[in-house]
Chains A and B, each alone.
Chain A
Amino acid sequence: MILTSETRARLCDLLREYESTYVVPIRVEQLQLTRRRFTEGAVESERVFLEVEVTVTRPGNGSQRWLLSLDFDEDARNLLSEGVQEADLRTAALIIFANIDEWWRCKDHESDVAAMGRRLS
């Protein structure tokens, strides 16, 4: 499953609408879907993740770039698969916003949330 350039551009546009609601300014720079394989015992499984590159501007501390990974398997299948509609993208944008906002607010006291993000700069 891949994001078409049109879908990616529309999602980024929709995510711009949330920029004033984050606790600190956060801008989504790039989005892409990736598949990851997992092995639990003898069972192998594959899940789709959404990788989100963001720039966080901290007043007085400059900007930081982070790469966030969201387990988006069911949501990618339901909202970003073939025949994607505007209503799907609006829901996807709300879910992505919610997870980004949550990551920033909770990463310092929830280790699972912190593990979603990798600092790039």
Chain B
Amino acid sequence: MGLAQRAIAVAAILAAVGSPVTGSANAAAAANPCAGRSEAHIVKNYYQGPLVIPLRCGSNTWGYRHLVHRGRWSAEFDRKISHAIWRGTAVPIPGGRWHYYMEAMPPCSKYFGVLDNPNAYGRTPRINPQGIITAYSMDDAPGSSRARSGEPRRPAC
């Protein structure tokens, strides 16, 4: 193969796959569904029967950006949120509600909880409901005060 032919072949390959820099930039944009989006943008919806709970882009303190900021978001984490909302126990708190399930059985103690706001984000009608604020694994069931229950703490798993 002559030099000119080689150059044409290389150019054709680059055109087909894109440059490495462009490729990684596209991958990053695809991996971040909130790039360039407002806090209101819905990343995905979770369901509990007819009840729909959105995960919005949010901010560093709530929603998808909060979960990414804390380094938690993954396909497995997504499945846990879905499970907590679909099958978990609901506990109301002022202005919000927890959805949780037990991840490990006694004598260990581990729960996975999702906190959502079923009402609007402040006075903003376009963000109604606000949806998921946060989600994480925890040693004690959400909404339960260890001091109030008087139960000794079980070992974490």
Contact = CB atoms under 8 A, between A and B. Distances in A.
Interface of A: 14, 17-18, 20-25, 57, 59, 70-75, 78-79, 85, 87-88, 90-95, 97-99, 101-102, 105-106, 110, 112-113
B140 interface: yes
Contacts of A23: 138, 140, 144-146
Contact of B145 (A25, A75, A90, A94): A25
Interface stretch (B4-12, B20-28, B42-50, B129-137): B129-137
Q: How large is the interface on B (under 10, 10 to 19, 20 to 34, 35 or more residues)?
A: 20 to 34
B39 interface: yes
A88 B120 CA distance: 9
B114 to A, nearest CB: 11
Contacts of B59: 71, 73-75
**Pairs of residues from A and B, 10 with the lowest C-beta to C-beta distance, nearest first:** A88-B122, A74-B59, A71-B60, A17-B94, A91-B122, A94-B95, A105-B138, A98-B133, A23-B140, A79-B122
Main secondary structure of the interface of A (DSSP, over half): helix
Contact of B122 (A18, A21, A85): A85
Nearest to B65: A74
B55 interface: no
B143 A87 contact: no
A62 to B, nearest CB: 13
A87 B120 contact: yes
Given A98-B62, A106-B136, A88 B123 contact: yes
Nearest to A60: B147
Question: Of B121, B124, B142, which is in contact with the most chain A CB atoms at under 10 Å from its CB?
Answer: B121
